[in-house]
């Protein structure tokens, strides 16, 4: 069982509410859910959709074809009617769409009328639509009632009751009228799943890593992380500040880090471009900071609400000069949580900037999990604090060579140790220097000695497939789910495997898992990327000399969809 | 702390006669007299001749990027609002490259003392016009004279209702010291614009030029009167008033953040276990 529901309409029509409630409902019922959103850069009007897939098996990608289309406007019908799966149904309200459609695949449900008759207000027509979808699937409304209770708690009992009445009326209407509905929905018969998107997971990861300071400047799609942390700020004592610009964000985050707390900032393309000066400062000062970059298509303001993996090389090279960093690109919320934690840990352990790259698609995409494994999470306070003995305080030097690549980072004011950090090249005490010998020693300590240590912390890429695959599909970051689903379905007929990188820089050492051997021994190796130039393939070539035999690149601002990716992989296979 | 010499840092690399020297000495004395030991405060600076000051004084130091001293100073205060933070900056650093940050630091009213060494020229990069350079002054990059009219930092700050606005003069040490001490002890954002002769590049605003113009505001002047302060700020400078020009007692940014009421962020512990319950909110 594997169904896709698409809810389409204008911005402001509440399709996120409908989609959000249905996604939560299915995950509570114990189904696996995957959802993603497609929206235009406008607050009202336009055409947006929310697409969710639910199944009794794991799902991790979006399909093109839908089984149910909830059309809140005429455009949705016009644009998506050809995407209807066999026996699929489009439900709509003829009165609000101002046109009627007849035929097997259409179900006219008077959402507005149901809402007015049962709840007294058209505003509840979305609730009627949710009820109707449940009716079409012949699922119960008890959990929906619970969700209405929690979601509307603040609005009071009257509103809750009216919504429940409306939901039930929508439900009965569909049960009675949808004679053509033939969905075979099996109950998963287990406990509810959790539902989380990657922005929330990154936010959660930072809270669980002891982040005490987050600052940023709004930019889609990075704002979701700030919103999430902001909503929890009071509870977990985190100062969240909206800065005057992104230049300020990174510098403020570094100031807080110097002050002794874990700090984070984040942005998208253009905003991150402004931060690069500060990234370089973090590199020179050796101050820990975590930076999330939610990519969107560029150059410049690009496609503000669309998706792309176009900034990998930019992040790798961001900031002038040479200094170490780590770059992670989670492929799902679980990796988002875990890699954010790891980013905080490594940033502080090695006193470097650590990056978490997402993109619009993965930032919004919701996944279900039975639970998330928090045993992997670590928290070590690597800073030198007054409790660590006050002896030899006067001898403290911020960039002392005596401890090797990582000098102890003290907290100013916490002891008599003076913490001197500088954007100029400096000596062990942190004071500006210009001499060649000290410069060389500092570069060796800060960069050349640290990088190999960092590389040893990087884990092997995710591999899925047999021992000697004929075909290997490779990707990084947000394409994890889609590649997994595509490879899974192709593995029925092909000796195919998947290789996914979420810890991108430094690249994993092949000692733990020899991914280069797998690649070189395969006949066809395809690098799938949501960008025009194949940035990850470039990195692989630059770092390892390995060159993929094939590339699949999309750069239309849209995510990969299952049917088309499978088709394109097949084409690569046939072309040979 | 027992001696002024305990604040001694590296040997300054400024030109002999530079107005930065008396500012450095005055700041040291002010800190000494306030009893602030070198580890008890942080000096944040950007880039420029003035911004090198923290190296010439023993203290916690964050010598960051050109124009960017105020954001890290803000981050530091939010991480640890018990630690006094002083920013030393130049007119180019603070009013040029960092102009936007100045506006917003004032708006936030973060409890930071900002000392701007205003030599009305770019010193470190060898004499280009700064935002405070007098209109018409000829430099190598402005061979036909600076075209823009000069920025008035005092009226700008009063206009933004900055919590503490003062003007000092580098060569007037005793008076400058009293201003700096008040600025450091003031609760809220304190801007002290310090007139500083640059003996190498600024041939207009020299020691003798200032000597003819600078005067002290006397005790009868009421710095809490914003309208009067504004009048004083926009008066054309054949006479230049120094002293505390404007003051108010607004709440600081730190005071307005609920989370900081308990203790500084840096002293609030963390346990991973206390966050595990957050997972339940996703079911
Ligand atoms: C981003 C950036 N732009 C330019 C510079 C070059 N620069 C260094 S100091 C300076 C101006 C300094 O002028 P001011 O702040 O008035 O300080 P002064 O040297 O006069 O004390 C400039 C433009 C730089 N270091 N960084
Ligand atoms: S150039 Fe001017 S500001 Fe710089 S040290 Fe010399 S006199 Fe001072």
Would you call the peptide bond into A506 cis, given omega within 30 degrees of 0 as the criterion?
Answer: yes
Q: For residue B270, list chain A residues with Cβ-Cβ distance below 8 A.
A: 210, 212, 379
pLDDT at B1 over 60: no
Compute the nearest-CA separation of A257 from chain B (Å).
8
Q: Which atom of ligand 1 is nearest to the CA of B130?
A: 16
Cα of B122 vs centre of ligand 1, distance in Å, is 6
Instruction: Give the residue, out of B24, B47, B132, with the most ligand 1 atoms within 8 A of its beta carbon, to mutate for a pocket test.
Output: B47
Which residues of A are less than 8 Å from B62 in CB distance?
255, 258, 285, 421
Contacts of A213 (CB under 8 A, 6+ apart): A238, A239, A240, A241, A253, A256, A257, A261, A262, A263, A264, B75, B78, B79, B265
Question: Which residue has its alpha carbon closest to ligand 1 atom 5?
Answer: B66
* pLDDT single digits (tens) A468-497: 999 999 999 999 999 999 999 999 999 999
- Predicted pLDDT of residue A530: 98
Asked if the model's pLDDT at residue B42 lies above 90, the reply is yes
CA of B68 to the centre of ligand 1 (A): 11
Mutate to test the pocket of ligand 1, among B49, B122, B151 (most ligand atoms within 8 A of CB): B122
Give which of A431, A566, A452 is closest to A498, Cα–Cα: A566
Nearest CA to A323 out of A419, A500, A443, A459 is that of A443
- For A531-534, which contacts have Cβ atoms below 8 Å and span 24 or more sequence positions? A531/A308, A531/A309, A531/A310, A531/A312, A531/A555, A532/A310
Chain A CB within 8 Å of residue B81 CB:
no
Beta strands in A193-296 (DSSP E): 194-197, 211-216, 239-242, 262-267, 289-295
Q: Which two tokens stand for residue A517?
A: 């051997």
Look at A11 and A241; give whichever has higher pLDDT: A241
Q: Inspect the interface and report whether the beta carbons of B42 and A278 lie closer than 8 Å.
A: no
Say how far apart CA A328 and CA A342 lie, in whole Å. Answer: 9
Confidence band for B91, pLDDT divided at 50, 70 and 90:
very high
Query: Please, are residues B189 and B109 in contact by the beta-carbon 8 Å criterion?
Result: yes
Which residues' Cβ are closer than 6 Å to ligand 1? B 47-50, 66, 90-93, 117, 119, 121-125, 130
Give the model's confidence band at B225: pLDDT under 50 very low, under 70 low, under 90 confident, else very high. Answer: very high
> Mutation test of ligand 1: which of B14, B48, B146 has the most ligand atoms closer than 8 Å to its C-beta?
B48
DSSP A446: I
Q: What is the pLDDT averaged over residues A220-245? A: 97
Which of B65, B68, B272 lies closest to A377 in CB terms?
B272
CA-B20 nearest atom, ligand 2:
8
Atom of ligand 1 nearest to the CA of B119: 20
Task: Give me the count of residues in chain B.
Answer: 283
Strands A462-464 and A496-501: antiparallel
Confidence of residue A392 (pLDDT cuts 50, 70, 90): low
User: Which atom belonging to ligand 2 lies closest to the Cα atom of B126?
Assistant: 1
- Dist CA A461 CA A499 (whole Å): 6
Q: What is the pLDDT of residue A438?
A: 98
Nearest CA to ligand 1 atom 13: B122
- Within 8 A of A259 by CB-CB distance, chain B residues are 75-80, 83, 265-266
User: In the prediction, which pLDDT does A40 show?
Assistant: 85
- Over residues A500-542, the pLDDT tens digits come to 999 999 999 999 899 999 999 999 999 999 999 999 999 999 9
pLDDT at A189 over 90: no
ipTM of this complex prediction, to 2 decimal places: 0.98
- The answer to whether A76 touches A49, Cβ cutoff 8 Å, is yes
Q: What CA–CA distance (Å, rounded) separates A160 from A318?
A: 51
The rounded Å distance from CA A156 to ligand 2 centre is 69
**Is residue A278 pLDDT above 70, yes or no?**
yes
CA atoms of A407 and A401, how far apart (whole Å): 7
The ligand 2 atom at the shortest distance from the C-alpha of residue B90 is 3
Instruction: State residue A15's pLDDT score.
Output: 92
The beta-carbon neighbor of B76 closest among A256, A420, A430 is A256
pLDDT given at position A389: 64
For residue B215, the CA-to-ligand 1 centroid distance in Å is 30
Euclidean distance between the first and the last CA atom of chain B, given in angstroms as a whole number:
57
Distance from A190 to chain B by nearest Cα, in Å? 13
pLDDT at position A394, please? Answer: 78
Residue of B nearest to A383 (CA): B266
pLDDT at A307: 97
DSSP string spanning A360-378?
Answer: HHHHH-EEEES----TT--
Three-state DSSP state, A432: strand
* Reported pTM: 0.97
Percent of chain A with pLDDT over 70: 99
Give the closest-approach CA distance of A96 to chain B in angstroms: 34
Apex CA A97: angle with CA A91 and CA A98, to 5°? 130
What pLDDT shows up at residue A155?
A: 94
- The secondary structure of residue A467, as a DSSP letter, is S
pLDDT tens column, B61-77: 999 999 999 999 999 99
How many other CB atoms are there within 10 angstroms of residue A508's CB atom?
18
Chain-chain contact of A239 with B265 (C-beta, under 8 angstroms): yes
Q: Confidence band (pLDDT; 50, 70, 90) for A131?
A: very high
State whether residue B124 sits within 8 Å of chain A by CB.
no
Q: Show residues of chain B in contact with A234, CB under 8 Å.
A: 258-259
Segments of A344-434 assigned E as strands? 353-359, 366-369, 420-422
Nearest CA in chain B to A412: B60
Interior angle at CA B81, CA B77 and CA B85, nearest 5: 55
The answer on pLDDT for A560 being more than 60 is yes
Going by CA atoms, what residue is nearest to atom 5 of ligand 2? Answer: B14
Do B75 and A258 make contact, defined as CB atoms within 8 angstroms? yes
Q: Which residues of B touch A257 (CB under 8 A)?
A: 75, 79
Distance of CA B186 to the CA centre of its chain: 13
C-alpha–C-alpha distance, residues B167 and B213, integer Å: 13
Q: Using CA atoms, how far apart are residues A405 and A284, in angstroms rounded to an integer?
A: 13
d(CA A146, CA A24): 11
* Alpha-carbon separation of residue A535 from A311, A510, A532, A553 (angstroms): 8, 21, 8, 10
pLDDT at site A529:
98
DSSP letters along A98-122, please? TS---STTEEE--HHHHHHHHHSSG
Which residue from B107, B119, B20 is spatially nearest to A241, judged by alpha carbons? B107
Indicate the pairing of strand A366-369 with strand A194-197: antiparallel
* A77, two tokens: 């019908």
Taking 80 as the threshold, does the pLDDT of residue A391 lie above it? no
Would the CB atoms of A421 and B61 count as touching at under 8 Å?
yes
Q: Is A122 exposed, middle or buried (0-12, 13-18, 19+ CB in 10 A)?
A: middle
Identify which of A192, A253, A277 has the shortest CB distance to residue B65: A277
Which 3 state secondary structure label does DSSP give A146?
helix
Residue of A nearest to B268 (CA): A237
Q: Which residues of B touch A418 (CB under 8 A)?
A: 38-39, 58-61
Q: How far is the CA of A423 from the centre of ligand 2 (A)?
A: 20
Q: Which of B20, B53, B206 should be mutated for ligand 2, with most atoms under 8 A from CB?
A: B20
For residues A149 and A145, what is the distance between their CA atoms, to the nearest angstrom?
Answer: 6
Whether residues B100 and A259 touch (CB distance < 8 A) is answered with no
Q: Is B239 exposed, middle or buried (0-12, 13-18, 19+ CB in 10 A)?
A: exposed
Q: Residues of A with CB below 8 A from B104's CB?
A: 243-244, 248
Ligand 2, atom nearest to B14 Cα: 5
Residue among B64, B80, B100 minimizing CB distance to A244: B100
| Residues of chain B numbered 219-278 and touching chain A (CB < 8 Å) | 257-260, 262, 265-266, 268, 270-272, 274-276, 278
């Amino acid at each position: 069982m594997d169904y896709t529901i698409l809810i389409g309409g204008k911005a402001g029509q509440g399709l996120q509410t409908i989609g959000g409630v249905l996604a939560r409902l299915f995950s509570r019922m114990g189904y696996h859910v995957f959802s993603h959103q497609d929206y235009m850069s406008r607050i009202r009007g336009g055409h947006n959709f929310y697409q969710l897939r639910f199944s009794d098996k794991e799902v991790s990608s979006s399909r093109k074809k839908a089984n149910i289309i909830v059309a809140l406007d005429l455009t949705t019908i016009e644009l998506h009617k050809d995407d209807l799966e066999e026996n699929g149904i489009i439900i709509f309200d003829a009165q609000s769409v101002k046109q009627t459609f007849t035929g097997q695949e259409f179900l006219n449900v008077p959402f507005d009328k149901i809402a007015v008759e049962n709840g007294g207000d058209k505003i509840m027509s979305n609730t009627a639509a949710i009820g109707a979808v449940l009716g079409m699937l012949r699922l119960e409304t008890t959990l929906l009632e619970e969700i209405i209770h929690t979601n509307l708690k603040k609005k009071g009992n009257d509103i809750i009751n009216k919504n429940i009445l409306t939901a039930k009326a929508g439900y009965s209407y569909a049960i009675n009228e949808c004679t053509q509905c033939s969905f075979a929905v099996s109950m998963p018969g287990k406990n509810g799943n959790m539902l989380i998107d990657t922005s929330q997971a990154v936010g959660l990861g930072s809270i669980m890593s002891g982040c005490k300071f987050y600052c940023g400047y709004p930019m889609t799609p990075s704002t979701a992380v700030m919103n999430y942390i902001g909503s929890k700020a009071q509870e977990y004592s985190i100062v969240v500040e909206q800065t005057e610009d992104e230049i300020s964000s990174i510098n403020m985050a570094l100031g807080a880090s110097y002050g002794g707390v874990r700090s984070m900032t984040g942005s998208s393309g253009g905003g991150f471009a402004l931060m690069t000066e500060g990234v370089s400062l973090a590199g020179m000062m050796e101050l820990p900071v975590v930076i999330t970059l939610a990519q969107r298509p560029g150059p410049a303001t690009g496609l503000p609400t669309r998706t792309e993996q176009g900034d990998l090389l930019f992040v790798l090279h961001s900031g002038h000069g040479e200094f170490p960093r780590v770059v992670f690109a989670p492929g799902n919320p679980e990796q988002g949580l875990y890699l954010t934690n790891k980013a905080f840990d490594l940033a502080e352990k090695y006193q470097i900037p650590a990056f978490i790259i997402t993109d619009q698609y993965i930032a919004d995409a919701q996944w279900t999990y039975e639970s998330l494994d928090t045993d992997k999470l670590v928290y070590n306070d690597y800073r030198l604090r007054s409790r660590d003995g006050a002896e030899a305080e006067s001898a403290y030097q911020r960039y002392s060579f005596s401890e090797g690549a990582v000098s102890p980072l003290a907290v100013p004011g916490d002891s008599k140790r003076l913490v001197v950090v500088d954007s100029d090249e400096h000596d062990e005490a942190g004071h500006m220097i210009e001499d060649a010998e000290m410069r060389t020693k500092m570069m060796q300590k800060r960069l050349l000695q640290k990088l190999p240590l960092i590389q040893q912390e990087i884990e092997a890429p995710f591999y899925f497939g047999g021992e000697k695959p004929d075909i290997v599909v490779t990707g990084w970051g947000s394409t994890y789910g889609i590649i997994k689903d595509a490879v899974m379905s192709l593995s029925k007929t092909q000796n195919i495997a998947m290789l996914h990188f979420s810890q991108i820089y430094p690249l994993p050492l092949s000692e733990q898992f020899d991914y280069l051997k797998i690649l070189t021994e395969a006949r066809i190796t395809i690098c799938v990327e949501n960008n025009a130039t194949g940035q990850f393939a470039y990195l692989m070539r630059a770092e390892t000399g390995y060159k993929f035999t094939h590339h699949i690149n999309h750069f239309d601002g849209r995510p990969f969809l299952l049917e088309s990716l499978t088709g394109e992989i097949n084409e690569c296979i046939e072309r040979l | 702390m027992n001696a002024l010499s305990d604040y001694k840092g590296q040997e300054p690399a400024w030109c002999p006669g530079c107005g930065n020297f008396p500012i450095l000495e005055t700041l040291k004395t002010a800190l000494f007299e306030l009893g602030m030991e070198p580890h008890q405060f942080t000096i944040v600076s950007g880039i420029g001749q003035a911004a090198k000051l923290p190296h010439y004084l023993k203290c916690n130091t964050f010598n960051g990027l050109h124009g960017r001293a105020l954001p890290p100073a803000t981050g530091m205060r939010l991480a640890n609002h018990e630690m006094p933070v002083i920013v030393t900056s130049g007119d180019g650093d603070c009013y040029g490259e960092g102009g936007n940050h100045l506006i917003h630091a004032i708006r936030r009213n973060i409890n930071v003392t900002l000392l701007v060494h205003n030599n009305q020229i770019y010193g470190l990069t060898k004499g280009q016009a700064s935002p405070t350079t007098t209109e018409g002054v000829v430099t190598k990059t402005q061979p036909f004279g600076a075209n823009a009219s000069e920025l008035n930092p005092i009226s700008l700050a009063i206009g933004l209702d900055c919590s503490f606005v003062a003007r000092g003069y580098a060569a007037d040490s005793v008076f400058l010291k009293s201003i700096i001490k008040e600025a450091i002890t003031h609760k809220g954002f304190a801007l002290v614009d310090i007139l500083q002769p640059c003996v190498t590049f600024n041939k207009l605003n020299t020691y003798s030029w200032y000597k003819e113009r600078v005067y002290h505001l006397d005790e009868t002047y009421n710095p809490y009167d914003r309208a009067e302060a504004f009048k004083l700020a926009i008066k054309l400078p054949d006479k230049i008033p120094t002293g505390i020009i404007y003051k108010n007692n607004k709440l600081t940014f730190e005071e307005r953040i609920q989370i900081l009421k308990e203790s500084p962020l840096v002293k609030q512990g963390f346990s991973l276990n206390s966050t595990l319950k957050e997972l339940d909110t996703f079911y």
